[in-house]
Amino acid sequence: MCVFISICSFSLEAQSLNETRDIKDAYTKNTRSRDGQPGVKYWQNTATYAISISADPPSRLIKGTETISYTNNSPDTLNKLVIKLILNQHKPGAARYGGSGMDYQTDGIVIDRFSIDGTDGLWDNTNNTTLVDVLLKKSVLPGAHINLEFDWHYDVSKQAGREGMIDSTTFYLGYFYPRVAVYDDYLGWDKTEFTGGQEFYNDFNQYSLKVSVPANYVVWATGVLKNPEQVLQSAIIKKLKIAATADSTISIANKEELLQHKVTLQAERNIWHFEASNVSDIALGLSDHYLWDASSAVVDNKTGRRAEMQAAYSDTAKAFRSIVHDGSYALNWYSHNFPGLPYPYPKMTAFEGNADMEFPMLVNDSSIDGPEGRRVTDHEIAHSWFPFYMGVNESRYAFMDEGWATTLELLIGRSFSDPKAVDKTYRQGRVSHWATDKLAVSQIPIITPSSELKDGYRHNAYGKPSLAYLALKDLLGDDVFKKSLHVYMDRWNGKHPIPWDFFYTFNNVTGKSLNWFWNNWFFSSNYIDLSISSVQKNANGYAVSIANIGGFAIPFDVYLEFADGSNQVIHQTPQIWFANEKKAGLAIKTNKKLKSLRIDGNLFMDSDLRNNSWTTNP
């Protein structure tokens, strides 16, 4: 018996992609190229940050001082700088994405001193914005540097969100330093106000971070600890060295060691010095009672390079007891499977907070028992590649990082757990809420700037683009998909890719225009609804006509049940929608009698299942 499905396809005239005027300008200026590569005139700005802060819990006061050496690599003369004070989002009058309790509110960042190239300037601390324009008396010419100095202080908020007070002697500090906003080739100054909803867009910078804390406080931060012998007791350093080549979890500091003051040196204060290069942000956690575990994972089979996986957590956080094991697995798996590029940093630390939020080399995770906790950790670690390795503009194109992290959490989950259960979790958490929603917010095109979204943000940042990437993987096959993805990542790591760089790179590497697919998934108001229009018996078997009512070019399976009791499942890739996105015909060659037929998109949840099956008339 032969069951054969054929589709008619013919080449369509290549579609073009909509480019808004800011994007068109980038191509005109040759900062980007329509073959997907950085243009011959691509540039990006950068800075060197030397930051020192001090904390003295349970006081919530954090004091900081920094010097920023900012380099203008653009062809433009900068008459002003835009400074981001992200923690001003805590100010009572600040614009906020959602509500906030009184314990979330603080006075924001207070600038105590500010200078430009050695000359002190005045700073107005009264406004509630997270963006401050600093007009320059002397412009920064193309290729020139400018030096800024800030002294500042702020109170850690009692209610922690992505950062804040975890308990009276445990703080998570994120977004805590004044920084220069991104100035780039298509936006100019990034003037996206931080409201607590959308995420970030940062330059790749060099950081030196010194954190002064009382004895017996441990600091975990982005970057490499440069002075372990000046802050840690020798037995702890020895255990860290063992963990750096160990496959199993090693307790670096347990409860007794912490209580007996056997972890840090016993000077009145210790200054922890971290350095990180070519990263887009730094963050840190500190505590006097968090347990500390570590291990490591091979992240590059070719060279044998290992990355450290560490965890810092309270004695009661049961889920964190296995997080070093699970995190090590993730570092290794992501490095060698999807995305399949070595973890780009020397270490990763999971710090117990309540944010479930990624930072370079750090994740701030709540303690969640069971598979859900592991899924969250996998998701946050996946962000190491998107957006930290790739430098995407999360505040404008969140699908360029959240969509990938959502896809990666699914793929890694299938590797160690029952794929059916993982798929079910994905459908429930990532798809069903918008797939079954008839309101307009579920049909906003993915390409819409994330900064303009509210209710549609979650749909457009996570589930929808994740399905688009999975549909693309199905369309191209794993080999071509991965090859194209790697070229995209190789071209744009450490830079600022925009969606068109991704689209055009895939067109370029595959050697064919996928614009029909990009238009279908990213620029449309499509949704998911397939319908069986008709099933006709003919001389060769059956002719099935399927209507794509919702419009998304999804892959799906055709489940055939024959009168003799036999069954067959046949997969259709999104290629079936290439010739005609609205309808497709299937020719089922068989000499058997078909009893029933059903189409099922699995992860691609159909919004109306009533028209997905057909049964022969008895």
Residues that bind Zn ion (CB under 5 A): 402, 405
- For the chain, first and last CA: distance in Å? 23
To the nearest 10°, report the CA torsion of 360, 366, 367, 368: -110
φ, ψ dihedrals at 572, nearest 5°: -120, 125
CB of 250 to Zn ion, least distance (A): 29
Q: Among residues 386 and 504, whose Cβ is nearest to Zn ion?
A: 386
Nearest distance from residue 499's CB to Zn ion, in Å?
A: 17
Comparing CB distances to Zn ion, the nearer of 185 and 358 is: 358
Nearer to Zn ion, 26 or 357 (CB): 357
- E-state strands within 266-392: 269-279, 283-287, 291-300, 305-313, 347-352, 357-359, 362-365
Could you give the angle at the alpha carbon of 412 between the alpha carbons of 407 and 418, nearest 5°? 110
Of 288 and 402, CB closest to Zn ion: 402
Residue (185 or 401) nearer to Zn ion, CB = 401
Which segments of 337-451 does DSSP mark as H helices, in order?
Answer: 370-382, 402-416, 419-426, 432-435
- Closest separation in Å from C-beta 405 to Zn ion: 4
Q: Taking the complex as a whole, how short is the minimal distance between the CB of residue 125 and Zn ion, in angstroms?
A: 32
Choose between 197 and 214: whose C-beta lies nearer to Zn ion.
197
- Is there a contact between 337 and 415 (Cβ–Cβ < 8 Å)? yes
Minimum separation from the CB atom of position 465 to Zn ion (A): 12
What is the smallest separation between the CB atom of 204 and Zn ion, expressed in angstroms?
A: 20
Residue 296's contacts (CB-CB under 8 Å, 6 or more residues apart) are: 243, 244, 245, 246, 247, 306, 307, 308, 309, 328
User: For residues 405 and 588, which CB has a smaller minimum distance to Zn ion in the complex?
Assistant: 405
- Rounded to a whole number of angstroms, the minimum distance from the CB of residue 409 to Zn ion is 9
Identify which of residues 146 and 398 has a Cβ nearer to Zn ion in the complex: 398
CB of 450 to Zn ion, least distance (A): 12
- Least separation in angstroms between residue 255's CB and Zn ion is 32
The residue (of 151 and 356) whose beta carbon lies closer to Zn ion is: 356
Q: Which is nearer to Zn ion, 150 or 175 (CB)?
A: 175
* 25-33: Cβ within 8 A, 24+ apart: 25/186, 26/185, 26/186, 26/498, 29/185, 31/185, 31/186, 32/185, 32/186, 32/498, 32/500, 32/501, 33/504
Question: CB of 199: closest distance to Zn ion in angstroms?
Answer: 8
Q: Please identify the residue of the shown chain whose CB is closest to the bound Zn ion.
A: 405
Closest to 199 measured CA to CA, from 65, 320, 356 = 356
Complete DSSP assignment for 485-550: HHHHHHHHTTS---HHHHHHHHHHHHTS--HHHHHHHHSS--B--EEEEEEEEETTEEEEEEEESS
| C-alpha to C-alpha distance for 457 and 402, rounded to whole angstroms | 11
Residues 28, 20: Cα–Cα separation, whole Å: 12
